[in-house]
Chains A and B, each alone.
Chain A
C-alpha cells in the first residue's frame, strides 16, 4: 500500500528565507507526483506536477524535484513571502491508477 509522508508537519520561518519541503513515498511505481497548496477553509490548488520520466519542474519561485528510485520529492520555495503561508501537500498516484495518495501536509507560516 502506498504511503506518503511529509515531515515536518509545520514550519515557521522569517520572510526571505529559501525553503525546502520534503515528501517521501513508499512505492516507487508511480506515474506522477503533484504538489498542492491549501489555504484555510479552501480547496487544494495544484502547484506543480512532475511526471515519473522527469526530474524536476519549475514555476516562478517554486521548483520541485523527483527522485523516484529513492521515493523522495522536494519542493523548493525561493525568497519566501508572507503570502506563501499555507498548507502544502504532495500526492502520488498508485501505479498509474486514478487513485491519488496524499501526504498529511505541512503547514508553512512565513513571518513578516
Chain B
C-alpha cells in the first residue's frame, strides 16, 4: 500500500465549527489531492497541491481551504462546517497524473456535520 495516512478517520462535528483533516505521505510524491465522495456525485476534486505552498482549486473548492507547509503533509480545512460538507474525504498522491503516473488513494475520512 502507498504510504498515505489520513487523520482523523471518523469525525462528528457541529455546524459552524472549524474542522481540519490531515493527509500524511511517506512516498515523497510531488502532487497531493483532496477529493470528496458523495452518493450520486462520485468523486470530485476539492483542491490539489503541486509543491510546498503551491495549491490550486478543484471542482468543489468553495468552503474549503488547504495548506502544504511540508512535502509530506497536506491539510484540508473547513472553516465553518455545514451539513452539505458531510461526506467521505479522500487524500491522494501522485508524481503527476497528467504525465501518466498512477494516483494512490488513502483510506478516507468520514465526516458528519450535525
Residues of A within 8 A of B (CB): 31-32, 34, 41-46, 49, 51, 89, 91, 93, 96-105
- Chain B residues near A91 (CB, 8 Å)? 43
Residues of B within 8 A of A (CB): 31, 33, 40-45, 48, 50, 56, 58-59, 90, 92, 94, 96-100, 102-108
In the bound complex, CA of A105 to CA of B54 (Å): 31
Distance between B21 CB and nearest chain A CB, rounded to angstroms: 14
- Chain A residues near B99 (CB, 8 Å)? 31
In the bound complex, CA of A101 to CA of B58 (Å): 10
- Chain A residues near B107 (CB, 8 Å)? 42-43
Closest to A51 in B: B100
Q: Are A103 and B42 in contact (CB under 8 A)?
A: yes
Question: Taking chain A's interface residues, is the majority helix, strand, or loop, or is none over half, making it mixed?
Answer: strand
Q: Are A46 and B104 in contact (CB under 8 A)?
A: yes
- Chain B residues near A34 (CB, 8 Å)? 97, 102-103
- Chain B residues near A43 (CB, 8 Å)? 90, 105-108
- Chain B residues near A93 (CB, 8 Å)? 97-98
In the bound complex, CA of A45 to CA of B107 (Å): 10
Closest to B107 in A: A43
Q: Are A98 and B33 in contact (CB under 8 A)?
A: yes
Closest to B57 in A: A99
In the bound complex, CA of A99 to CA of B42 (Å): 14
Interface centre among B31, B94, B103, B106 (most CB of A within 10 A): B103
